[in-house]
Structure 1
Amino acid sequence: MAQTMLEKWLTPARILTVGFAALILIGAVLLSLPIASKSGEGLNFIDALFTATSAVCVTGLVVVDTLTQFNLFGQLVILSLIQIGGLGFMTVATFIIIFTGRRIGLKERLVIQEALNVNSMEGVIRLARNIVLITLGIELFFAAILAFRFALVMPIDRAIYYGIFHAISAFCNAGFDLFGDFRSLTGFVDDPTVNFVVMLLIILGGLGFTVMVDLWKAPKPERLSLHTKLVLIMTSSLLLVGTIGYFLLEMNNPKTLGALDWEGKILASMFASTTARTAGYATIDYGSVSDASLLWTILLMFVGASPGSTGGGIKTVTTIVILLYVVSVITGKDSTVAFRKRIDPRTIYKAFVVAVMAALLLIGVTFVLTLTEDKEFIRLLFEATSAFGTVGLSTNLTPELSPVGRLILILTMFAGRVGPVTLALALTVRAHEKALIKYPEEKLFVG
């Protein structure tokens, strides 16, 4: 009886939420051990919890510098948390189960379906396997390129390690780096190899695994699913608009783009537009950008990457569905259509719910931070959005946060990675009563 009650309580949403929480706690314990730090002294648990949450939620916000604080063991713990967090622990578990030859039951398939954010259980095991294989293949290929580039400025063994670490971190949209002093990739601001490799990894990781599989299978563009088409359109549009925005806003700022030549300005603008989509790497100092650029970045971070990807935010498809619906209402159309396909009204409702819940969460988190932190409002909003979107960009504020502020961002990163809707479903008791009664409608005045 007790087991039956437990099985009923453990819905897919709750299993995902508990699973991510357990992984974070394990990572926090490991990172707090003396054997994980270069100093030989254990990191305090709040900072270890913050680092583990940032790694599992593939965010990249840090309160301690990864290179100077952690030794090889600690860095490998962080890298493992990033990889598992990026793929999703259920995807990793599924791959291990397949590898060991065990059978995957219905309950596990339901959880995998929820984790991968797909509409059907059909083919989810094959999809999970393909996700792992595609991920490892992409990471290995680009790690080799980065290793060759880093070998020009460091010993070959370290270059290989750095290539692997940063390839995994970039593809998983994590943003952790090993260059020390919270510098991220500012030392490579005008390096085309590092910039383009990291940008490609970020974009591929942010497209979503279902999109990558669809692109791999579909020989012709017209055979792509509507989901894939919308992701590609929204992703390319945001990258282009974001690049133009950064270029115009920062081109004369002597502390950012103003110090670069024209090629450097364009490259840095492209990188800033790409990384704002939940990656967290930076080639410019965000503590020196204008308030207008901070707001521009906040908008990009809020949208984020695509569904079923390693990135966060409300997602590209959510945004474009809302925009298409707004256009259909303004033009007086009865249904929302894209590429001669009608979008299910339930999808539209869910898109609005995700956007509204995300906005309310950000408003609440920012409000609390204004009470606990004596900092500028725009910087607090930037930090909150970066945490929710699992981006990892910062105006150098994260290490200055109070313990309460750090705990707030821990919860925000967790909510952003799990997803506000999934988290809400995990924390609430849903009614299962059938709608046998339909109440009369009454019109309201809105707008």
Structure 2
Amino acid sequence: MMNLFRMLKLTTWSPPRVLVTGFALIIMIGSFLLYIPAASTNGVSLSYIDALFTAASAVCVTGLVVVDTGTHFTIFGQIVILTLIQLGGLGFMTMATLFAFMLKKRISLRERLILQEAMNQSSIEGIVRLIKKVFIYSVVIELAGAVLFTIRWAFDMPFKQAVYFGIFHSISLFNNAGFDLFGEFRSLTLYAEDPIINITAMLLIILGGIGFVVLSDLLDYKKTRRLSLHSKVVLSMTGVLIMVGAFVVFIFEYTNEATLGLYGLDGKVWTSFFQSVTPRTAGANTLDIASLRQATQFFIIILMFIGASPGSTGSGIKTTTFAILLASVFAMIRGKDDVVLFRMRLAKERILKALTITILSLVFVVSITMVLTTTEDQQFLKILFETTSAFGTVGLSMGITPELTVVGKLLICLAMFVGRLGPLTLAYALKTKKEKTLYRHPEGNLIIG
């Protein structure tokens, strides 16, 4: 791994710059593999912009597609997409570290710093142990999901196809990618009322979205009898967002004959919860998103913008950022000096970082949306939905992805890339070397509100 760094002259680069470059290289390699005729069922090369879009969507674990994955791509093309999803979900540095383990190579301090940035950790302490756990958790969870899917789909298709579908969709859902093989852009709509498919898919999405640190905390709970503040916030916010989301979808869509109105009470409950879980950045759906009422679509935009949790396979501003913002608002309203979560005071640095991430993300989404409204002949809500879905690496769409212009596809690719890495990481990668300020300006007063 260090030989690769030296060859690419990355040893003097900052960790954020290495991550940005690494993800970009993987996308470019993936786009060329999907561009060759062997990747397409008709034997004709996919247009390069569509190959680039698909590769970016896979590496950024988004799931937005311009061609149908199940019918357009050959087994070779689908395996390339699946490999890109796995690389993008776990991160190329995680995979490189696993290869280093197998080759019994020592992980240097610089590589640990890059891993720290990739896993969004506050220190390098225990980072190598965490990477080992990430691999074990991923294999076990994806294997369990594949087995459950295979057993269920063996009743609907030949066993070999059921195994292949089980593996593909388990990896896709755990990595919050949202790619599917059912054809005609249907996702999981054929199984909207199926308890096994719904429960398995939702568990994969949630486990992939809460983050590996939280998974480690939960598995160690019997021994430690405690959860970190991070795990408490992630689990509580995830639970609240899922319950509130399911309630909103159920209420707004109950009488919609194109969505929940198609099902009985059990089906209404299953589809409401699934549509609440999937904006965690998963991208799979059991209802036609374009048929939802505008109020529901806008609410899903909010859920997609919040996204998953830090150190997970998902994106968005993250649940912890949203929790800090809410806690800060409540502290201000109550006249409190400190922002407190679970009886723990948050450092000012954490609050400023949460605010910075939110503002940068909001400005980015608004900017891309404004440009797309001039390049695309689509309704504003559809464009905002598509942009937020790309930035949150969700993959839900109101059906406009294949109709995007070349400029529109490139802008959505950019949104997926920035969303997967995070606007703050990208800003750190682009900035010049940090210089320490040797002075402070005098304090001033500014009227607010």
| TM score, norm. by length of structure 1 | 0.97
Residue type at the aligned position of 1:391:
V
Residue type at the aligned position of 2:117:
E
Separation in 1 of the partners of 2:262 and 2:117? 47
1:446 matched to 2:448? yes
Separation in 2 of the partners of 1:258 and 1:222? 45
1:184 matched to 2:187? yes
Shift of 1:431: 3.0
* Contact residue 10 and residue 18 of structure 2 kept, 8 A: no
Q: Closer, same or farther in 2 for the Cα pair 1:222/1:338, shift >3 Å?
A: farther
Match of 2:359 in 1: 356
Gaps of 5+ in 1: none
* Contact residue 30 and residue 84 of structure 2 kept, 8 A: yes
Q: Closer, same or farther in 2 for the Cα pair 1:188/1:4, shift >3 Å?
A: closer
Alignment of 1:106-125 (within 5 A): 106-125=109-128
- Number of corresponding residues: 444
Separation in 2 of the partners of 1:24 and 1:231? 30
Match of 1:291 in 2: 294
Match of 2:415 in 1: 412
* Contact residue 39 and residue 73 of structure 2 kept, 8 A: yes
Q: 1:60-104: per-residue Cα shift (whole Å, max 9, x none)?
A: 000000011100000000000001100011111111101110111
Alignment of 1:25-424 (within 5 A): 25-219=28-222, 223-424=226-427
Shift of 1:222: 5.8
- SS at structure 1 position matched to 2:222: coil
Match of 1:437 in 2: 439
Separation in 2 of the partners of 1:388 and 1:374? 20
Separation in 1 of the partners of 2:328 and 2:231? 18
Separation in 2 of the partners of 1:225 and 1:180? 43
Identity of aligned residues (%): 51
Residue type at the aligned position of 2:165:
Y
Shift of 1:428: 1.7
Q: 1:177-219: per-residue Cα shift (whole Å, max 9, x none)?
A: 0000111111111111101100000000000011101111122
Shift of 1:436: 2.0
Separation in 1 of the partners of 2:11 and 2:215? 34
Gaps of 5+ in 2: 1-5
Residue type at the aligned position of 1:445:
I
Q: Closer, same or farther in 2 for the Cα pair 1:220/1:323, shift >3 Å?
A: farther
Separation in 1 of the partners of 2:203 and 2:150? 16
| Aligned-CA RMSD value | 1.4
Separation in 2 of the partners of 1:249 and 1:287? 14
- SS at structure 1 position matched to 2:280: coil
Q: 1:274-314: per-residue Cα shift (whole Å, max 9, x none)?
A: 00111000101011111111101001000000001001110
Residue type at the aligned position of 2:275:
A
Separation in 2 of the partners of 1:248 and 1:91? 42
Separation in 2 of the partners of 1:44 and 1:428? 34
- SS at structure 2 position matched to 1:223: coil
Q: Closer, same or farther in 2 for the Cα pair 1:8/1:96, shift >3 Å?
A: closer
Shift of 1:429: 1.4
| TM score, norm. by length of structure 2 | 0.97
Separation in 1 of the partners of 2:341 and 2:429? 32
Separation in 2 of the partners of 1:5 and 1:436? 35
